[in-house]
């Protein structure tokens, strides 16, 4: 241990000469770790210095003259006194003085190194004789004290120890007792006999705090326990030393040098003890037992420093962390956290340094609970570290994010590939992960920039931090926050370096937001897109006003005008564009073009068509002949004239409107709207019901603009014009054209069917048949319309006497209806019933034509077969359930039976029959015919009974007529009508 001025003073005992050799001898005695310095009330035990602790040796200043003491003359004088006096008391005092002089002579020789050994023999002999000759003298405790010292200085430690032991045993109340015990403890410690040393030091302590050796004894008790490896026990003694010395404010630098060094040495040895045990956990356990101490922060701090000196960096950090965890709200905690970070810095652990700086900000930063709960004075402990850490963290994450993105943007990720894994090709998923990592780092950097701004709003770094915050938010894609920060830089600070850059960057950020917003999502009555566009425009106009000399200002102003136009803020758009046209410095051609176009479009939307026409004319004057947008502007010019035509039309002046429409071609013959204008002229003629003129204009339009999309509508309009003027064949031809040219199947279907109808109206039956047949074959899935087409075909074939083709389509109708399932309708059932009735009538006609000839059996067989066919046909007709055809079928079935009865009676008779045989033959025929007639009557009666349910159609009437002939008694009666009188009875 290093020596102090106090230490040297404590080494001066019994004489006024500094006994350097004695001190050095003592050092050798305590080479085990501690030394005893001095021999008296001021003696103190100190730890032995290591090589690292040694300071350059200090040579005593020998230039100063020491007092000259002639010890030999004094000895001679005292011996003369002995020779002349017999007074026992005087002789005793003289002998004591002589012993003291011999002691002084020995010390002088020791100091002057005149001889080696034996310097104190005369003093030892003198003290021994005094003690031997006066064993009961009350002052013998003092003589024993001096004798022990002489032995000690002569290097006879055992003899010194023996005398000291005798002294404390015989004189427990001696004023030298505490000193003697302390010396004994020192010798025990040096032997070493640490158990005895501990007990002896403890006895010194028991004698009370008044002793000058009390504090040193406490200190050495701790050391004795330490040497005995009673580490936890030693901490109590060391703590008591600290209790006596550490000021209430823990500022040990305010202590006198000796106490300061003793206190620091105590902290040092305690740190060693804690490091031998469980470190900070032992601190917690010990002071839970001993009770809290105000100097506990110094205990943890010294332990952390001790670990750091030993390069036990994580243990050092752990010591500081233990205090922080135990006393999280302490003012010392943020300071210790900084020491924790410095331990990792010293260790060269960058990841730990980064993590702990982040944690420091999280625990103690302006947003933390700790900060909120502390007064301003306590926050002053934190600010210096935040002022350092926040920019470091922000720039670290900013640089990290930039590095990641630079790697990804270089060679499609090749650099990043090398950094991630040499030879391993990055997959899209890997690139996505890296991009997300960069985004997260940008966000984190921005958070630290923001926290610095909030923590140190008056710091001169704030403008730069605000700009870097904006940059990091921009790169992270958090454009709204980037805009806010950029605009603070641009308009909140007189930042000439970054102001314009920041203002323009905010505009760019607005644009990026607009690329991602949902154009349909609404908020506060406006779409999100509109809201952000308006904010962007406001920022642009502010930029143009603030940074008028910036080369981008006019471009920004032009963009604002365009966007105001898009928002339908027409007057504001005109104002912004007009500002651009009035600039002293003539804007470049593209900006002038934009400004006049915005004015033209806005005036157009405000329905100021003459002003719009003027603006478009100005635009055309600016353009060169090769401008890609020239044709579009010509169209807009044409539109201005066209709108004037529309206005005339709205006022009811159709003639003027037609003239204006046609004038468009003169103003802008190559414009797309010129075509529309001519088309609208035809439309206006149609509206005026001037169909003949309209047909002529439309025909001309179609010839002149065959490729115009509007030409596609001409056939439909011509259909109307032809139809309204009764030109059916012309209408049918146009419909045919529509059918053949259209790609819309629905249009094709309708056009084809209507063309067939119009050809039919025009009397062009062959063309009508062709169109109906094409429809029926092409669109069978259009069930109802296809059914009508088949019916029309059957009718037209009937009219043209093509019976076979007629029957083909009748059978087709029946077949399709039968298989229609859910598509079947009342109309299709009716048409099928009608078709069945025609075919059934065909069967009836075939039946009726068959004559019964001889041999009767053979012809009758054919007749019955035809009968069955006919009956089946009519029965199928009944099954349709259509009342009109049910009565027909019933009538025909009855007629079939009646016809068979008549045919039997009218059948050919055999020629070889005599009269009687013929009569018998006739009777047999009647017997055969009668049941058929009876059956016919029954069926007719069934038909007429329908009248009872209100059905009285043609075939019911016919059944009545037949029954009148067959059963006149029942059905041929005349109706009697009652006459009603008008009188009131």
For 625-639, write each residue's pLDDT tens digit.
Answer: 788 888 888 889 899
pLDDT of residue 919: 80
**Per-residue buried b or exposed e for 717-732, using 16+ beta carbons within 10 Å of the residue's own CB:** bbbebbbeeebbebbb
SS3 931: helix
If pLDDT is split at 50, 70 and 90, which confidence band does 486 have? Answer: very high
pLDDT of residue 114: 60
Residue 279: C-alpha distances to residues 190, 242, 854, 898, 923 (Å): 29, 19, 140, 131, 144
**Concatenated DSSP letters for 385-420?**
HHHHHHHHHHHHHHHHHHHHHHHHHTTTTHHHHHHH
Q: For 669-693, what is the mean pLDDT?
A: 86
CA angle 719, 724, 726 (to 5 degrees): 90
What pLDDT does residue 67 have? 53
pLDDT in tens, 79-88: 778 777 777 7
Angle at 845 between CA 841 and CA 849, to 5 degrees: 170
Among the ranges given (251-255, 406-410, 695-699), the one the predictor scored with the smallest mean pLDDT = 406-410
- What is the pLDDT, as a whole number, of residue 235? 94
Contact between 643 and 608 under an 8 Å Cβ cutoff? The reply is: no
Helices (DSSP H) in 477-552: which residue ranges? 479-492, 499-516, 528-546
Task: Say yes or no to pLDDT of 29 above 70.
Answer: no
In this prediction, residue 5 has a pLDDT band, given cuts at 50, 70 and 90, of: very low
The residue to which tokens 């019964």 are assigned: 852
Q: Return the CA Rg of the chain.
A: 65
**Whether residue 103 has pLDDT greater than 60:** yes
Select from 812, 821, 810, 733 the least CA-distant residue to 777. Answer: 812
Looking at every residue in the chain, the average pLDDT score rounds to 83
Rounded to the nearest 10 degrees, the angle between the axes of helix 383-409 and helix 350-364 is 130
Q: Note the pLDDT tens digit of each residue in 30-85.
A: 233 333 333 344 343 444 333 333 333 333 444 445 455 578 788 888 877 877 77
Can you tell me whether residue 977 is helix, strand or coil?
coil
Highest mean pLDDT among 226-230, 827-831, 946-950: 226-230
pLDDT of amino acid 68: 54
- Number of Cβ atoms within 10 Å of the Cβ of 253: 7
- Encoding tokens for residue 675? 């075509």
Work out the widest C-alpha separation in the chain, in whole angstroms.
227
Provide the strand spans (E) within 842-891: none
User: Which of 84-93, 802-811, 854-863 has the highest average model confidence (pLDDT)?
Assistant: 802-811
pLDDT tens readout for residues 866-900: 888 888 888 888 888 888 888 888 888 888 888 88
Q: Tell me how many helices (H) and strands (E) the chain has.
A: 46, 4
- pLDDT tens digit string along 227-277? 999 999 999 999 999 999 999 999 999 999 999 999 999 999 999 999 999
The predicted pLDDT at position 437 comes to 94
The count of other CB atoms within 10 Å of the CB of residue 756 is 29
Confidence of residue 981 (pLDDT cuts 50, 70, 90): very low
DSSP 8-state secondary structure symbol assigned to residue 610: H
Token reading at 742: 């259209």
DSSP secondary structure code for residue 329 in this structure: T
Q: Among candidates 678, 713, 682, which has minimal Cα distance to 695? A: 682
Average pLDDT over residues 766-795: 90
CA distance 887 to 878: 8
Mean pLDDT highest for which of 46-55, 253-262, 492-501, 970-979?
253-262
pLDDT score for 105: 80
Is residue 914 predicted with pLDDT exceeding 80?
no
Distance, in Å, from the CA atom of 141 to the CA atom of 156, rounded to the nearest integer, reads 19
Asked if 580 and 561 count as a contact pair (C-beta separation under 8 A), the reply is: yes
Cβ partners under 8 Å of residue 512, min gap 6? 477, 479
Nearest to 37 by CA among 11, 12, 14: 11
pLDDT of residue 53: 39
DSSP 8-state class, residue 950: T
Q: What is the three-class DSSP state of 522?
A: strand
- CA distances to 685, 735, 752, 784 from 747, rounded to whole Å, are 25, 10, 8, 16
Q: What is the rounded distance in angstroms from the CA atom of residue 102 to the CA atom of residue 15? A: 12
Count of other CB atoms within 10 angstroms of residue 869: 15
Cα–Cα distance for residue pair 830/822, rounded to 1 Å: 16
Collapsed DSSP state (helix, strand, coil) of residue 37: strand
Q: How far is CA 450 from the centre of its chain?
A: 20
- With 50 as the cut, is the pLDDT of residue 27 above it? no
**pLDDT score, position 41:** 41
Distance, in Å, from the CA atom of 281 to the CA atom of 299, rounded to the nearest integer, reads 12
Give the separation between CA 685 and CA 679, rounded to whole angstroms.
10
Give CA angle at 101 (100, 103), nearest 5°: 65
Contact of 346 with 299, CB cutoff 8 Å: no
CB-based burial label for 519 (10 Å; 0-12, 13-18, 19+):
exposed
Question: Which residue(s) pair with 35 in the sheet?
Answer: 46
Count CB atoms within 10 A of the CB of residue 609: 18
Percent of the chain with pLDDT over 70: 89
- Residues 138-164, mean pLDDT to the nearest whole number: 87
What's the pLDDT at 456? 95
Cβ neighbours of residue 283 closer than 8 Å, sequence gap 6 or more: 274, 296, 299, 300, 303, 322
397, 445 contact by CB (below 8 A): yes
- Give the mean model confidence (pLDDT) for residues 756-764: 90
Asked if 564 and 558 count as a contact pair (C-beta separation under 8 A), the reply is: no
Beta-bridge partners for 46: 35
CB-based burial label for 193 (10 Å; 0-12, 13-18, 19+): middle
**Alpha-carbon distances, residue 618 vs 554, 594, 601, 608, 623 (angstroms):** 19, 11, 13, 16, 9
Tell how far CA 197 is from the center of its chain: 71
Token representation of residue 625: 């002949």
Bin 655: left if φ > 0, else alpha if -120 < ψ < 50, else beta.
alpha
296 band by pLDDT with thresholds 50, 70 and 90: very high
* 984 token code pair: 């009131």
**Please, which pLDDT band fits residue 921 given cuts at 50, 70 and 90?**
confident
Structure tokens at 581: 């046209």
Residues 359 and 368: their CA atoms lie apart, in Å, by 11
Query: What integer pLDDT is reported at residue 534 of this predicted model?
Result: 92
- Segment 310-323 mean pLDDT: 95
Least confident of 93-97, 438-442, 532-536: 93-97
Higher pLDDT, 75 or 778: 778
* Spatial contact of 576 and 541, defined as CB atoms under 8 Å apart: yes
pLDDT at 424: 54
Two tokens at 817? 């209806």
Q: Under 8 Å CB-to-CB from 106, ≥6 apart: which residues?
A: 119, 120, 121, 122, 123, 150, 153, 154
pLDDT at position 615 is: 92
Q: What element of type H or E holds 617?
A: helix 609-622
Omega cis (within 30) before 192? yes
Of the pLDDT bands very low, low, confident and very high (cuts 50, 70, 90), residue 773 is very high
pTM of the shown model: 0.57
Question: pLDDT at position 385, please?
Answer: 95
Packing angle, helices 214-227 and 257-276, rounded to 10: 20
pLDDT at 750 over 60: yes
């Amino acid at each position: 241990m290093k020596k102090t001025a106090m230490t040297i003073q404590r080494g001066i005992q019994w004489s006024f000469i500094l006994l350097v050799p004695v001190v050095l001898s003592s050092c050798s005695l305590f080479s085990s770790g501690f030394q005893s310095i001095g021999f008296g009330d001021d003696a103190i035990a100190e730890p032995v210095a290591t090589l690292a602790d040694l300071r350059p040796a200090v040579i005593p200043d020998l230039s100063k003259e020491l007092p000259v003491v002639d010890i030999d003359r004094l000895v001679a004088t005292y011996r003369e006194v002995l020779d002349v006096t017999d007074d026992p008391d005087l002789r005793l005092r003289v002998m004591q003085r002589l012993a003291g002089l011999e002691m002084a002579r020995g010390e002088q020789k020791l100091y002057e190194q005149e001889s080696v050994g034996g310097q104190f023999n005369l003093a030892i002999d003198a003290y021994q004789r005094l003690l031997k000759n006066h064993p009961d003298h009350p002052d013998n405790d003092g003589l024993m004290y001096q004798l022990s010292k002489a032995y000690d200085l002569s290097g006879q430690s055992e003899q010194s120890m023996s005398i000291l032991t005798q002294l404390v045993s015989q004189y427990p109340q001696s004023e030298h007792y505490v000193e003697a015990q302390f010396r004994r403890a020192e010798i025990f410690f040096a032997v070493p006999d640490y158990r005895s040393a501990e007990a002896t030091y403890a006895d010194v302590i028991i004698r009370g705090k008044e002793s000058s050796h009390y504090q040193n004894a406490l200190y050495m008790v701790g050391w004795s326990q330490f040497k005995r490896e009673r580490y936890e026990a030693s901490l109590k003694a060391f703590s008591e030393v600290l209790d006596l010395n550490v000021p209430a404010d823990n500022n040990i630098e305010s202590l006198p040098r000796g106490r300061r060094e003793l206190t620091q040495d105590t902290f040092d040895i305690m740190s060693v003890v804690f490091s031998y045990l469980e470190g900070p956990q032992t601190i917690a356990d010990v002071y839970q037992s001993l009770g809290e101490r105000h100097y506990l922060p110094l205990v943890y701090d010294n332990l952390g420093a001790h670990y750091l000196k030993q390069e036990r960096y994580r243990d050092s950090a752990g010591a500081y962390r233990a205090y922080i965890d135990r006393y999280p709200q302490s003012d010392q905690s943020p300071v210790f956290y900084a020491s924790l970070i410095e331990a990792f810095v010293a260790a060269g652990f960058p990841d730990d340094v980064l993590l702990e700086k982040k944690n420091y900000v999280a625990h103690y930063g302006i947003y933390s609970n700790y900060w909120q709960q502390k007064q301003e004075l306590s926050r002053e402990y934190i600010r210096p570290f935040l002022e350092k850490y926040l920019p470091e963290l922000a720039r670290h994450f900013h640089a990290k994010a930039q590095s990641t993105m630079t790697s990804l943007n270089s060679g499609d990720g090749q650099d990043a590939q090398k950094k991630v894994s040499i030879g391993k090709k990055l997959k899209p998923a890997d690139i996505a992960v890296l991009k997300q990592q960069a985004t997260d780092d940008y966000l984190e950097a921005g958070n630290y920039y923001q926290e610095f701004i909030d923590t140190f709003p008056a710091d001169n770094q704030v403008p730069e931090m605000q700009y870097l915050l904006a940059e990091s938010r921009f790169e992270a894609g958090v454009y709204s926050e980037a805009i806010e920060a950029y605009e603070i830089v641009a308009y909140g600070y007189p930042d000439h370096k970054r102001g314009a850059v920041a203002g323009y960057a905010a505009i760019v950020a607005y644009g990026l937001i607009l690329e991602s917003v949902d154009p349909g999502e609404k908020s506060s009555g406006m779409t999100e897109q509109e809201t952000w566009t308006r904010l962007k425009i406001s920022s642009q106009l502010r930029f143009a006003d603030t940074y008028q000399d910036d080369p981008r200002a006019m471009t920004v102003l032009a963009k604002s005008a365009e966007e105001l136009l898009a928002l339908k803020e027409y007057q504001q758009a005109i104002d912004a564009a007009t500002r651009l046209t009035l600039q002293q410095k003539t804007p470049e051609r593209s900006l002038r073009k934009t400004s006049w176009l915005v004015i033209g479009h806005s005036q157009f939307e405000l329905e100021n068509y003459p002003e719009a026409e003027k603006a478009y004319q100005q635009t055309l004057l600016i353009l060169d002949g090769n401008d890609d947008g020239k044709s579009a502007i010509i169209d807009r010019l044409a539109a201005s004239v066209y709108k004037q035509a529309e206005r005339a039309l709205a006022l009811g002046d159709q003639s003027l409107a037609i003239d204006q429409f046609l004038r468009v071609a003169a103003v802008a013959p190559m414009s797309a709207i010129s075509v529309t204008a001519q088309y609208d002229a035809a439309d206006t003629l149609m509206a005026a019901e001037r169909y003949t003129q309209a047909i002529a204009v439309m025909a001309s339009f179609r010839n002149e603009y065959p490729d115009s999309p509007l030409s596609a509508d001409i056939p439909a309009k011509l259909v109307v014009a032809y139809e309204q003027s009764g030109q059916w064949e012309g209408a049918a031809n146009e419909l045919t054209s529509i059918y053949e040219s259209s790609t819309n199947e629905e249009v094709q279907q309708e056009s084809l069917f209507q063309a067939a109808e119009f050809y039919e109206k025009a009397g062009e039956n062959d063309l009508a048949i062709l169109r109906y047949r094409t429809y029926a074959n092409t669109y069978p899935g259009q069930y109802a319309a296809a059914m009508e087409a088949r019916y029309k075909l059957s009718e037209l074939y009937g009219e043209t006497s093509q019976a076979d083709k007629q029957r083909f389509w009748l059978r087709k109708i029946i077949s399709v209806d039968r298989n229609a399932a859910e598509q079947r309708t009342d109309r299709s059932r009716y048409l099928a019933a009608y078709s069945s009735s025609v075919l059934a009538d065909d069967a009836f006609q075939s039946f009726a034509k068959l004559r019964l000839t001889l041999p009767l059996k053979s012809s009758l067989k054919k007749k019955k077969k035809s009968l069955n066919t006919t009956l089946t046909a009519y029965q199928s007709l009944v099954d349709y359930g259509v009342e009109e055809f049910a009565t027909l079928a019933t009538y025909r079935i009855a007629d079939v039976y009646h016809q068979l009865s008549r045919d039997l009676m009218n059948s050919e008779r055999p020629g070889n029959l005599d009269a009687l045989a013929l009569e018998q033959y006739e009777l047999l025929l009647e017997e055969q015919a009668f049941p058929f007639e009876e059956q016919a009557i029954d069926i007719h009666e069934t038909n007429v009974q329908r009248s009872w349910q209100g059905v009285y159609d043609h075939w019911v009437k016919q059944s009545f007529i037949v029954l009148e002939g067959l059963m006149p008694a029942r059905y041929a009666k005349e109706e009697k009508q009652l006459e009603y009188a008008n009188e009131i009875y």
